[in-house]
Amino acid sequence: MIEHFFVFPNCVNIEGQLTIDITPGQYKIECGENQYTVNRQDIPDNSSFCLLYDYMLDDFIPIEHWEKLTACLNMRSMETLAYLQQSCVFQIHYYNKIPFVKVFLPQGQQTLVSHTHNFSENSYFPISFIHPLDYLYFPTFDIFNVSLDDAQENVIIDLHLVPSVTNFAVYANYGMYCLPLNPGVNHVTIPYCPGESLYIGAKGEKKKVTLYDLEEALCIHN
């Protein structure tokens, strides 16, 4: 439960001290008078859960399928939080049944308090470490070549995939198609869907952070 557990101190404008008690299958989160229990079994594999804090209501707002919300808004996580004018205190991604957890502590709180685990000896990093951490847990890729076939019906993509450290199955998601990818070099042929972008991630996942603009690569400007 805490193998991939990262805490960022001094982040959120919220009164009180954040406490997380971790038991098998549960994260019990408390801050001031607010509390929320995240049940591991309620979060499907290949999905994200976010616990937001609303200043106006002084309450937690749980959001399941955070990845779908950000995909609908076509925004990154940080952009979505700014757009919603909310702060995130707890985020969990389940990939390949492995939880990747990020905890954002209230301003002034330097270490995570817990009745079940001792986080006092942990190393804490500034918020600027969040992107390098995400890079580890999301698949990363390099696209070497994109072209249309002679009939202009299929897109041919040469890409190199470095999988997530949680080793979940990675797909090329494009239009209504999801093609499985292998670690290393991939040669993908996929029916051309004008206007669509390519996303690399879990099956059907369309995160902005993994977007690749195929139209631009093909020099097709609408």
Partner 1 sequence: MYSQLRLVMPDTVCNLACQYCLSGYNNHTSCSEAADFAAEQILKTINGRAFESISIWGGEPLANFEKLQQTVAFCRRYYPDIPIRIITNGYLMNEEKADYLNANNIAITISHDGYAQYYRNQRDFLLEHDYLNLLKRIKNDVSFNSVVHRFNCNIPSMFHYFEKAQDKIGKAIGWNFELFKLHDAKFAKFIIAGKAIDELAKSFDFLFEQFEKGHPFAYTSQANRLNSLARLIDEGKGTLCQCGANRRLSIRTDGKPAFCQVAAELGNYSNAQPDIPPMCSDCEYAKYCTGICPLMSDGYRKKLCISYKLYYFKTFQFFHSLRERGEFN
Q: Which residues bind partner 1 (CB under 8 A)?
A: 2-4, 6, 122-123, 125-126, 128-129, 131-133, 135-137, 140-142, 160-163, 165, 167, 183-184
Q: Which of 168, 158, 178 is nearest to 138 (CA)?
A: 168
Rounded Cα distance, 83 and 144, in Å: 34
Closer residue to partner 1 (CB): 178 or 209: 209
Beta strands 170-174 and 198-201 are antiparallel
Q: CB of residue 122 vs partner 1: minimum separation in angstroms?
A: 6
Closer residue to partner 1 (CB): 3 or 150: 3
Closer residue to partner 1 (CB): 34 or 164: 164
Non-local (6+) Cβ contacts of 129 within 8 A are 6, 8
Closer residue to partner 1 (CB): 43 or 209: 209
Closer residue to partner 1 (CB): 83 or 144: 144
Q: CB of residue 133 vs partner 1: minimum separation in angstroms?
A: 6
Rounded Cα distance, 83 and 67, in Å: 15
Q: CB of residue 128 vs partner 1: minimum separation in angstroms?
A: 7
Closer residue to partner 1 (CB): 33 or 121: 121
Q: CB of residue 41 vs partner 1: minimum separation in angstroms?
A: 22
Q: CB of residue 138 vs partner 1: minimum separation in angstroms?
A: 9
Q: CB of residue 150 vs partner 1: minimum separation in angstroms?
A: 29
Phi, psi of 86 (to 5 degrees): -125, 165
